[in-house]
Amino acid sequence: MPYAVETRDLTRVFAGKKKHWWRKPKPNEEESRGPVTALDGVSLQIREGELFGLLGPNGAGKTTLIKILATLLLPTSGKAFVAGNDVTKDPFPIRQRINMVSGGETSGYGLLTTRENIWMFSQFYGVPSKVSKARIDELMHAFGLWDKRDAKVRLISSGQRQKMNMIRGFVTEPDILFLDEPTLGLDVNAARTIREYVMNWVRGQSGKTVLLTTHYMAEADEMCDRIAIIDKGKILACDTPENLKRMIHTQTTFRLEVDPLQDTSTFQRMDGVVNFSLRDDASKNRTELTFILENEAPVAEILSAITAQGAKVHALRKTEPTLEDVFISMVGRGFE
């Protein structure tokens, strides 16, 4: 079975701005003039049924990759296949199977209602009107846009607009859906509605694939089966969120809140304890202990050593390294 998406050594270079003798360069334009390598030898394989995330800072090349896969941009070199078809040579069968939604999109016509706009776009995929209208009604309920079904698009809020765009993406029942920062600028509830719908859509049926880009670490972590970290057009790592986090932290971190202890020397001698630290919280008359462990095995021994001293454990928390940590360790800087 072909991959839903496959790229081989995919490279895209944007030519710099041409110099025109009649145009004076603007002061800070010099830097933006040279050619930009937006994608640099990207090789990826996304399996059918995967919810795949692309994580990277501004200008990393995420949108460029999606545009190439959506047959809107030609690669400079290398190959890209969607549903087994070459994006350069055979776009028609790809276009039948894909759709794309970008955050902050302003598509459609302001004079049409949300429903009319979505219907219009579905016509470009040959969806019969009756089928299209039934699907739109169903999706509008699912996204909580039903009461805005007859509102003109130029009068709805940006969050409602984004929901409309999402429905536009789903109404053609694509096999592969590209989502470019779909929750950009949305409030918590709207973002959650969208995330949950996307996850159910991929996992609740077979044969559906999503390629998602996002700036939100937690979102990528929560949603994606696998994540590729991309920076300056290069893929730095590609794995499940768990494995990515394991890559940088082979150790686990535990935090405990306990009654003040007399003897803490025994902890250092235990097997599997890499390090620990303690901090007294005088106001609560408690001590906070942080353990860095090779694995979770020593936890039981630590707890019994504490209770043997007659002290009580008030809280025990295992804290995971976040994707953010992974990202910082790889890219050498955080987001934004």
Partner 1 sequence: MTAAVARRSDLRFRIGLNLRSIVGRAYPRVIGANREPSWIFFEAVLPLLSIAAYVYIYRAIALNQVAANPVDAPRILANMNALVASVVLGGAMVAFWLNVLWSMASQLYWEKEIGNLQLYMMAPMNRMALLGGMAVGGMFMTSVRAVSTLVAGVVVFGVVFQVANPLMLLAVFFVTLIALYGLGMFFASLYLLWGREAWNLSALMEEPIFFSSGFYFPLGGLYQSGGWGSVVAVLGSIIPAGLGLDALRQLTLGETAFGGKFWVLSAPVELEILVVLAVGFLILARYALAYLETLAKREGKLTSRHQ
Ligand X SMILES: Nc1ncnc2c1ncn2[C@@H]1O[C@H](COP(=O)(O)OP(=O)(O)OP(=O)(O)O)[C@@H](O)[C@H]1O
Which stretches of the chain bind partner 1, using CB under 8 A? 14-15, 48, 63, 67, 70-74, 92-93, 95-100, 102, 105-109, 111-112, 116, 119-129, 168, 173, 175, 205-208
Residue with the CB atom nearest Mg ion in the bound state: 63
> Can residue 63 be called a binding residue for Mg ion (CB under 5 A)?
yes
Sign of CA dihedral 302, 306, 308, 312: negative
Q: Residues 14, 125, 216, 335: which binds ligand X (CB under 6 A)?
A: 14
Q: Residues 5, 38, 139, 166: which binds ligand X (CB under 6 A)?
A: 38
Q: How far is the CB of 180 from Mg ion (least distance, A)?
A: 6
> Can residue 62 be called a binding residue for ligand X (CB under 6 A)?
yes
Q: Residues 46, 50, 61, 136: which binds ligand X (CB under 6 A)?
A: 61
Q: Phi first, then psi: what are they for 218, rounded to 5°?
A: -60, -35
> Can residue 64 be called a binding residue for ligand X (CB under 6 A)?
yes
Pairs from 250-253 (Cβ < 8 Å, separation ≥ 24):
250/294, 251/292, 251/293, 251/294, 252/292, 252/293, 252/294, 252/295, 252/296, 252/318, 252/320, 253/290, 253/291, 253/292, 253/293, 253/318, 253/319, 253/320, 253/321
Q: Residues 11, 13, 36, 305: which binds ligand X (CB under 6 A)?
A: 36
Q: Which does 288 bind (CB under 5 to 8 A by kind): Mg ion, ligand X, partner 1, none?
A: none
> Can residue 287 be called a binding residue for ligand X (CB under 6 A)?
no
CA distance 206 to 209: 9
Residue 102 or residue 252: which is nearer to ligand X going by CB?
A: 102
Q: Which does 59 bind (CB under 5 to 8 A by kind): partner 1, Mg ion, ligand X, none?
A: ligand X
Residue 52 or residue 267: which is nearer to ligand X going by CB?
A: 52
Residue 73 or residue 273: which is nearer to Mg ion going by CB?
A: 73
Q: Which does 61 bind (CB under 5 to 8 A by kind): partner 1, ligand X, Mg ion, none?
A: ligand X
- The number of residues that bind Mg ion (CB under 5 A) is 1
Q: How far is the CB of 240 from partner 1 (least distance, A)?
A: 23
> Can residue 28 be called a binding residue for ligand X (CB under 6 A)?
no
The distance in angstroms from the start CA to the end CA of the chain is 39
The residue ranges that bind ligand X (CB under 6 A) are 14, 36, 38, 56, 58-64
